[in-house]
Structure 1
Amino acid sequence: MTLPFMIGVLGSPVSWYMRDLVRAAGETSGVQIIPLAFDRLQAASLERSSVSSALAMESHEPSKPTESMPLDALDAVLVRTMPLGSLEQVIFRMNALHVAEQLGVPILNGPRCLEICIDKWLTIQRARHVGLLTPKTICCQGREEAIEAWHQLGEDCVVKPIFGGEGRGIVRVTDYDMAWRVFSTLSQIQAVMYVQEFLPNEGYDLRLLVLDDELFCVRRHGNGNWRANVSQGGEAKRFEPTFEQAEIAYRAARAVGGWMVGVDLIETLDGRTMLIEVNAVPGWRATGAAVEQDIAMRLIQKLRDR
Structure 2
Amino acid sequence: MKVTILGSENAWHVEALIGAFQKRGVVVNVLRAKEMKAFIKDDIACPGVGTDIGDVVLVRSLPGGSLEQVIFRVDLLHVLGEVKDVEIVNSPRALERTVDKMYTTALLSRAGLKVPETYITERYEDAMTAFKELGCDVVVKPLFGSEGRGMIRVTDPETAHRVFMALYQCRYVYYLQRFIPHEGNDIRVFVINGRVIAAMKRHSSDWRCNVALGAEVSPLDPDTSIVDLSLRAVEAVGAFYAGVDILPSKEGELYLLEVNGIPGWRGLQQVARSDIASTIVDAIL
Flag whether TM exceeds 0.5 (same fold).
yes
1:50 is aligned, of 32, 35, 45, to 45
What residue number does 2:247 align with? 266
**Within 1, Cα distance between the matches of 2:150 and 2:40?**
40
Match for 1:246: what amino acid? V
Contact persistence 2:113–2:256 (CA under 8 A):
yes
What residue number does 1:220 align with? 202
**Within 1, Cα distance between the matches of 2:195 and 2:109?**
23
**Within 2, Cα distance between the matches of 1:84 and 1:153?**
30
Matched positions, count: 283
Give the SS at the match of 1:274. Answer: strand
Q: Identity percentage over the alignment?
A: 38
What residue number does 1:139 align with? 120
What residue number does 2:101 align with? 120
Give the SS at the match of 1:248. Answer: helix
Residues 164-175 of structure 1 mapped to structure 2, 5 A cutoff = 164-175=145-156
Residues 216-272 of structure 1 show CA distances to partners (whole Å, capped at 9, x for unaligned) of: 1111111x1111000000112110112111111111111111011111111111121
Residues 147-296 of structure 1 mapped to structure 2, 5 A cutoff = 147-215=128-196, 216-222=198-204, 224-296=205-277
**Within 1, Cα distance between the matches of 2:100 and 2:157?**
27
**Within 1, Cα distance between the matches of 2:46 and 2:80?**
6
Give the SS at the match of 2:4. Answer: strand
1:69 is aligned, of 51, 56, 71, to 51
What root-mean-square deviation, in Å, do the aligned CA atoms of Structure 1 and Structure 2 show? 1.3
Match for 1:69: what amino acid? T
Runs of 5+ consecutive residues of structure 2 not aligned to the other structure: none
Residues 28-75 of structure 1 show CA distances to partners (whole Å, capped at 9, x for unaligned) of: 231222101211212233235234333xxxxxxxxxxxxx1343xx12
Q: Verify: 1:31 aligned to 2:11, yes or no.
A: no
Residues 89-130 of structure 1 show CA distances to partners (whole Å, capped at 9, x for unaligned) of: 111111111111112110000111111111101100000111
TM-score (structure 2 length as normaliser): 0.96
Runs of 5+ consecutive residues of structure 1 not aligned to the other structure: 55-67
Contact persistence 2:21–2:281 (CA under 8 A):
yes
**Within 2, Cα distance between the matches of 1:141 and 1:272?**
30
